[in-house]
Structure formats: C-alpha cells, structure tokens
Chains A and B, each alone.
Chain A
C-alpha cells in the first residue's frame, strides 16, 4: 500500500499534466469547449425543475424562496454528478486504458487519481456555476458551506472505492459494465435528489438507510440550501464504509493486476 502511494507521488507531475490534457482533449474539438462541463448537469437541473416543479408544484417547507425546489435540485445534483462521474469513469478505466497498460509500465494507481482529479475540477466548475445561479435566484448559502469540502472528500472516497472494485471486476466480467449504468439509474431515483425524503411513505423510509448515498446527498442539501450541518453520525458510517471499500479495492487491484493485462 505504501509502495503504491509512493509510486503515485513519483508520478505526481504526470498525473497533474494528464488531468490538464484530459480536460483539454475532451473539448478541443467542440465550439463551446469547457462550457460543456457545466452545461450538461445544468441542463438536467433545468429539465427536472421544469417538469417536476410545475407538475408536482413542489414547495419546500421552511424555505421562503420561490425557487427553493430548483435550489434543492441543484444541491443534490452537485453531489450526484461527482459521485456518478467517478463511478462511471472507474468502471471502464482499465478497459479504456488497455492500450497503454499493455505497452508501458507505470503505477496503475495513477489512472484512478487522474479520473478523480478531472472529476474534481469538473465539480468545482459546476459548483461555481451553481453559486452564480443561486445568486440570480436570490439565495445566498450560509456558513454551513464550510462543510462542503468534507462532503466532497467523502463523496470521492465512496465513489472511488466502489468504482475501482467495479472497474477491476469489469475487466474479467464485462457484464458488470452493462449492469452498472442500470443500477446507477436506480440509485439516482432511490436517492432523494429530485424529490424530498418526506414524500416517501413512512413504512419505506427506513429502506433509505440502506442507501449510502442518502446521507451524502442530504449533506449537500443541508449545507447548500438549509444552511445546516450534515448528519455527522450517518456520515461517520459512510466514511468507514468508504475506507473499507478503498482498502479492499486497492488490495483487489494488487491481486488482480498480474491477470488484468492479459484480459485487456
């Protein structure tokens, strides 16, 4: 484990420059360039805001803002987009990079770090855009904003741990690559992002506790919308889970690495 981290440190320049080129190459041939980084999640917010707020005429209790629902939606989306980007990218990480894995020797740990870095940059840009829109809508987040970095770290930890396990297994069982996007769809709708937790009938509400994303997304909503500290107890469990997943994924990566290149 220590050797892995040391290797990652030796490759720090490479990781940084790869994040840069990755962001650059994604948009080098598009007119709007980097704008797409934030346009995509924002378009999603607009769709849900239009459809759901008019259809359901949702109003959030305790918030005195006409656009409360849109703000709620954007808060959840900020967390979800970071989580889903890392999971989805890690899922095909080794398959996508098969070409260089087969030809060059470098620490494999560099790959998920590059993904994390570029997802983080995307997320920061999205956050900036969301803040700007909040301003337009007349909502100014309060001091609870200081908890956001912690939430971001937790989201990355959970996403990376889960994504790496899936990514390694996907090399051997390509079905995983097909199943996960479907599961992610379910997860999105099973997490209160476009709806609030209290519209779920009481008898099912306990089931939400099985979803590790719920406390994280609730944390985003708490800090950005309600100006409240997140639920530390629930997040503590998530932190433990993320840590276990991360350790497991790194062990798995080490065990599977010799077999992996032959399967690419």
Chain B
C-alpha cells in the first residue's frame, strides 16, 4: 500500500452565519445558506502519485496550510473531495500539543497514541525516537524545560517514527538547527526512496527544489501553476516581486524549459551572452576556463539607480553562485532614458561538468523585491565540460593540492617525508 492522493475541486470557506442559531439550524437543514462565505481555497485539483514528492508554495495567506489541514483531515472541506490511500502522517506547524508538565517520553507516548498506534508499537519505536531526537537526558525531563528547537526535534521524531505512505510537512524543516535540519532532510529523503509520497509546504526554495518532483503554486486560494519545480519557482519568484506596474511573461525557452520574464520595464536586458576571453560566444566552457558574461541593458525611462545581478543555476535550478552590483558597490546612478549600459563580468568557470543557466536581473536596490525593472530566468544557458582537469565529482571546481606523506611511527618523533605531490 503506498500513498496516493487525489484532490478534486477542493474548496474551503469560512462562513459567517450572522447568528449562531442560524448555523445550528444549518446542521439540521443543509439547504440554509450562510450570510457570507469567505473562500480561502477554491477549485483546487491535483493528484499525487505513489512515491511522488510535491511541493506547495505561495505567499502568506495563499491557502497552503489550509490545504494541508484539509488533506490531513483536521479541518473539513466545504466543497469537493479528497481521496487518499495508505497511512497519512502530518507535521503541521510546531508542536503536537505537548503537555508541558509531562516528560518528553510521556508526551511521545501520548502523541503516538493520538496517531492511533498501539502501546506495543509505541514501545518498540521509542528507542528509535529517543535516538533520533538526540536531546540526551532531556528526554526524561518535563517538556516545559525544553527549548523550542528541542520540542521540534521530538515532534519531528515522533511524526516520522512510523513509516507513512504519505508524509505531509508544513514548514517544519526550517525550524531547528542546521544539524537537525540536515538530519530531518535525510529522513525525508529516505522515506522518499522507500516509496513514500511527500507533500511539503516550504518557503525554502532550495529545499523544495532538492526534494520535489513537482511544485504547485497557490495564489489567493487557487492553483496558479502546477509543474516542474524550476519553472514554478521561477514564476513564483517573479510573483513575489513588487506587484504593481509589473508585467510577467512566460516564454518557451529553446531548451524546452519555460522561461519567466518579469519586470516594470524601465530598464530592459538587450543582450546576455557568455563569452570567452577573446570575446567569442561560448556554449561549452571548460572547467576552470576564464570566461566573461556580457550584459547589455537599455534604459527606457530616467531612473535614479541601477543594479545588475546575475545568478548561475545548475540543472535542478539550485543556485550555484549569484551576486549583484549592489553587493560589489557598483551601483550606477541617475541614468537618462535611451542610454545603454554594458556590464562585463569576468570569472573563471570553476564549476563541475553539467548544464547551467544564468538568470539576470535589473533592479534598483539590493534585491529585486522592490523596483524590479527586469528579471529574466534562463537568460543564457551553457554547458561545462571537463577536458583539461583531473576527474572529479560535484558542482564546484575547487583546485586541489594534495600532499601525501608517510608517517614513520617507529621513530619517536613523527617524521614526514613528502612521498607524492600532485596539484
């Protein structure tokens, strides 16, 4: 049995009945209409196939958490239906209603019981839960003495102690320290490999792209986009930029991926090209090769300042490197309409072999969130190949110098003599 979820035309309304009496009458006679209905989710349909990992993104208030609660079953849909098969486990928000006076262990027992597990199952899973939470002797201390991170550790450990068919995670990954984040990430990946379906709400782009096969973008309670993580995240990125005076275009890029271009248009990108040192366009760059990125901006209206930023992304859309001229202290000020600005960014291509893309943006301040003139994803696509370096794995070329020496232990002092040297 594995997790399978079908959501059909789902809607959730918070209803204002005017009076509570009216509400109560409506329990008896379903025909009675509420005074006002405030729809927080409408016409949401999607399917999660067994073993698939789906991310849900959207701005605050887009309905993400409501959707997860509906699927978990803690709240009821006003419309539509949810079909799911298999055991569903959910980590919604922080905590599981832990009792502060009980110890971690007792709370775990309670929470696991609430999830419907028998005492035997719980006792069997207990050592694993304790080990995974790694909070030491605190496990037998009252929860009121816990830090929020420790509570989160215990919560996550219980929720994932029993292998579910569908795991629902709401923002829980971003809590806790980096160590535990990695650990919980590992566990989710492990579940995924065992065929568990995932439904994740997160604002962490990297996490979503690393885990999900598909991303659904919710906006004002509706599904705005449903597709490949990179495309949807690019679109979302454009969506969260300043809303007014913005146009947003999604183009079919020659690589087959969908490209999002957004911005208010005061400045636009005329040319984005990757060149070699001699100024010839490159489509294939060698590992470590010196290259330059040429960016030409055309100014359509007088603007007080202009910042150019670029971001190199790998095949999965993970950012490998990015910066902008705000951070480098090269903001251009008071530009008149019709002028053109050329940027040349020189850098060594210290990336691992693979396919990469560059997103370029023109904006006024440190980020594109306010006054975004133009943001262009997939502005330039190139391949990195390795023809003159030693073999290596990974996405970064970090020129290694390895020294190997033999340590002679029979002599009192450790003597080292260089045996091999490579670089």
Q: Which chain A residues have a beta carbon within 8 Å of chain B's beta carbons? A: 10-11, 13-14, 17-18, 21, 24-25, 28-29, 97, 99-106, 169, 172-173, 252, 255-259, 261-262
CA distance A17 to B108 in the complex (A): 12
Given known contacts A11-B116, A173-B20, A255-B27, A21 and B74 CB-to-CB distance under 8 angstroms: no
In the A-B complex, list the 5 residue pairs whose CB atoms are closest, starting with the nearest.
A14-B113, A258-B76, A100-B97, A255-B27, A99-B97
Residue-wise interface mask of B (106-139) relative to A, using a CB-CB cutoff of 8 A (1 in contact, 0 not): 1001110111101100000000000000000000
B binding-site residues for A, Cβ under 8 Å: 14, 20, 23-24, 27-28, 69, 72-76, 90, 92-93, 95-97, 99, 101-102, 106, 109-111, 113-116, 118-119
Complex-state Cα separation, A47 to B187, whole angstroms:
60
Which residues in A have their C-beta under 8 angstroms from that of B24?
A: 169, 172
Beta-carbon contact of A28 and B114 below 8 Å: no
Instruction: Name the A residues within 8 Å of B92 (CB-CB).
Output: 102-103
Question: Residues of B contacting A106 with CB < 8 Å?
Answer: 114-116
Q: Which A residues are CB-close (under 8 A) to B69?
A: 102
Nearest CB in chain B to that of A17: its residue: B113
Residue of B nearest to A27 (CB): B101
A262, B113: Cα distance in complex, Å: 24
Report the bound CA distance from A226 to B133 in whole Å.
59
Write the chain A residue with the least CB distance to B93: A103
The answer to whether A25 and B101 touch (CB under 8 A), given A17-B109, A100-B114, is yes
Pairwise interchain contact A18-B76, C-beta atoms closer than 8 A: no
Chain B CB count within 10 A is highest, among A11, A14, A29, A259, for: A14
Check B97 against A13 for contact (C-beta < 8 Å): no
**Which residues of chain B are near A102, meaning CB under 8 Å?**
69, 74-75, 92
Q: What is the number of contacts between chain A and chain B, taking CB atoms within 8 Å?
A: 79
Known: A21-B99, A103-B92, A255-B27. A262 touches B75 (CB 8 A): yes
Q: Are A104 and B114 in contact (CB under 8 A)?
A: yes
B101 touches A261 (CB 8 A): no
**Smallest Cβ distance from B422 to chain A, in angstroms?**
56
The SS class assigned to the A binding surface is: helix
The smallest C-beta distance from B31 to any residue of chain A, in angstroms, reads 14
Question: What are 20 inter-chain pairs, A to B, with CB distance below 8 A?
Answer: A14-B110, A14-B113, A14-B114, A21-B109, A21-B110, A28-B102, A100-B96, A101-B74, A102-B75, A103-B92, A104-B74, A104-B115, A105-B74, A106-B115, A172-B20, A172-B23, A173-B20, A257-B76, A258-B76, A259-B23
A11 to B90, CA, bound (A): 19
- Seed contacts A13-B118, A21-B99; 18 additional CB < 8 Å A-B pairs: A14-B110, A14-B113, A14-B116, A21-B106, A99-B97, A101-B74, A102-B69, A102-B75, A103-B95, A103-B97, A104-B114, A105-B90, A106-B114, A173-B20, A252-B27, A255-B27, A258-B75, A261-B76
How distant is A83 from chain B, measured CB to nearest CB, in Å?
Answer: 26
- The one of A11, A17, A103, A169 in contact with B96, judged by C-beta atoms closer than 8 angstroms, is A103
The one of B27, B73, B99 in contact with A25, judged by C-beta atoms closer than 8 angstroms, is B99
Cα distance A174–B90 when bound, in Å?
30
Q: Is A261 in contact with B74, judged by CB distance below 8 angstroms?
A: yes
Please give me the residue from chain B that is nearest to A28 by CB atom: B101
- Which of B90, B116, B118 has most chain A Cβ within 10 Å? B116
Q: Establish whether residues B97 and A104, one from each chain, have CB atoms under 8 Å apart when the complex forms.
A: yes
Cα distance A58–B115 in the bound complex, in angstroms: 55
Residue in B74, B90, B92, B95 with the greatest tally of chain A CB atoms within 10 Å: B74
Q: Is the CB of A13 within 8 A of B119?
A: yes
Pairwise interchain contact A21-B97, C-beta atoms closer than 8 A? no
Instruction: Tell which of A29, A99, A256, A261 touches B75, judged by Cβ atoms closer than 8 Å.
Output: A261
Residue from A18, A105, A173 in contact with B73 in the complex, judged by beta carbons closer than 8 Å: A105
Contacts of B113 in A (CB 8 A): 11, 13-14, 17-18
Tell me the smallest distance from the CB of A35 to a CB of chain B, in Å.
18
Q: How far is the CA of A255 from the CA of B76 in the complex (A)?
A: 12
